[in-house]
Amino acid sequence: MERIYTESDVNQAALKGQTIAIIGYGSQGRAHARNLRDSGHDVIVGARAGGKAERTAKADGFRTVSPADAAKEAKLVALLAPDMAHRASYADDIAPNLAPGAALLVAHGFSVLYGQIAPREDIDVILVAPKGPGDLVRREYEIGRGVPALFAVHQDSTGTARDKAMAYASGIGGTTAGAIETTFKEETETDLFGEQAVLCGGASELINAGFETLVEAGYKPEVAYFECLHELKLIVDLLYEGGLAKMHSFISETAKYGDLVSGPRVINAETKARMKEVLTDIQSGQFARDWIAENEAGKKNYDAMMQADLDLPLEKVGAELRSHMAWLNTDTKAATATTQTEAKAA
């Protein structure tokens, strides 16, 4: 079994007295900044003048400076802006200003693994990736627990890079829940594969294909929605709490038999071969090249594909049915926020 690191494994001296700059005050950045401050670290926020990040960070009581000044002051810069912003942020603000021996930290290895950032040789480059959305990272920390984290070292110029990564993971609550050591390559490739093949891409296509199959066979869309989307939550909760065993122990004998004989007819060797193709494109860098090119071209294909998803009959039926679900509507804002954060968590 893989070693799980906890608080007693952490060398807190690695970050003691070192100013930490957070650049990117969104889902992850805001949670990291607040947890690190409450863990006793000196935290500043590097934000663009007049932006939402600057306003929010100030309202949370942080000193904000420009991203370039943040990089100048800090011994550790956590770059928590969106992955597609990393190249410019590193080149323009961080590389010219970060002191030798300081650390650059990311929460996902994409930009480093795929060469968007070519780090200076005299800095440490580390990764701490909580396995959860920012609001959960904050909430769990506040109640004295934490969200499990992965940590990794890409470049160790000082001999203390690994200790810094573990101390940062501790500061955001990651070693309270247990941290696992990985590499930039493993974190990035498995994260991308998970969200593409299983969590986001796989799950949404599975749901919609099931919904369409029932509707095309003449069943009511409303009934199909309940069977193929709504009830998935119950199943996922059981899987999350106790794996396949708990899920099986809560469903009927008939459901279990159907699961065993029909599941492998839907997700079969053919599906797995497609999954391997997806993984190959991630490993070869093809997916990253496509996504970077899509961004550079103004995301026209991305926008069109996203709109096609939002226009699906599944979405129309779902919106109507959900408007009658009192527990979702009592706090529409919170429900929406949770949905958005959960989507981003992947």
Residues annotated as catalytic are 108
Of residues 78 and 107, the one with the C-beta less far from Mg ion = 107
CB of 80 to Mg ion, least distance (A): 14
**Single-letter amino acid code for the residue at 191:** D
Q: Of these, 83, 140, 163, 189, which contacts ligand NAP (CB under 6 A)?
A: 83
Exactly one of 14, 20, 76, 81 binds ligand NAP (CB under 6 A); which one?
81
89 touches ligand NAP by CB under 6 A: yes
Question: CB count, 10 Å around CB of 74?
Answer: 27
Which residue number has the CB closest to Mg ion? 191
**195 contacts which partner out of ligand NAP, Mg ion, none, CB within 5 to 8 A by kind?**
Mg ion
Stretch that binds ligand NAP, among 22-30, 116-124, 236-244, 313-321 (CB under 6 A): 22-30
- DSSP sequence for 108-121: SSHHHHTTS----T
The CA angle 104-100-175, to the nearest 5 degrees, is 35
Q: How does DSSP classify residue 47?
A: -
Should residue 108 be labelled a site residue for ligand NAP when binding is judged by CB under 6 A? yes
Instruction: State the residue for tokens 């961080």.
Output: 94
Site for ligand NAP in 285-344 (CB under 6 A): 344
Q: Which stretch binds ligand NAP (CB under 6 A): 76-84, 138-146, 289-297, 310-318?
A: 76-84
Of the candidates 22, 43, 53, 314, which one interacts with ligand NAP according to CB under 6 A? Answer: 53
Q: Of these partners, ligand NAP, Mg ion, none, which one is at the site of residue 48 (CB under 5 to 8 Å by kind)?
A: ligand NAP
By CB under 6 A, tell whether 119 contacts ligand NAP. no
Spatial separation of the C-alpha atoms in residues 242 and 231, rounded to whole Å:
17
User: Please, what is the minimum distance in Å from the beta carbon of residue 204 to Mg ion?
Assistant: 15
- If the CB atoms of residues 238 and 282 are measured against ligand NAP, the closer one turns out to be 282
Two structure tokens written together for 117: 């950032």
Coil, helix or strand at residue 44: strand
116 binds ligand NAP per the rule CB under 6 A: no
Select from 12-20, 105-113, 240-248, 319-327 the region that touches ligand NAP (CB under 6 A).
Answer: 105-113
Residues 6+ apart with CB under 8 A from 266: 206
Closest CA to 196 of 83, 282, 286: 282
Long-range residue pairs from 132-136, CB within 8 A, at least 24 positions apart, any chain: 132/345, 133/27, 133/341, 133/342, 133/344, 133/345, 134/26, 134/27, 134/28, 134/29, 134/30, 134/31, 134/32, 134/341, 135/27, 135/31, 135/337, 135/341, 136/341, 136/345
Question: Could you give the C-alpha distances from 40 to 3, 33, 43, 185, in angstroms and in order?
Answer: 27, 11, 9, 31
Per-residue binding letters, 184-203, with Mg ion (x by CB under 5 A) = -------x---x--------
Residue 102 near residue 77, CB atoms below 8 Å:
yes
The yes or no reply on residue 83 touching Mg ion (CB under 5 A) is no
Where on the chain is the footprint of ligand NAP (CB under 6 A)? 23-29, 47-48, 51-53, 67, 80-83, 85, 88-89, 106-108, 129, 133-134, 344-345
Where on the chain is the footprint of Mg ion (CB under 5 A)? 191, 195, 346
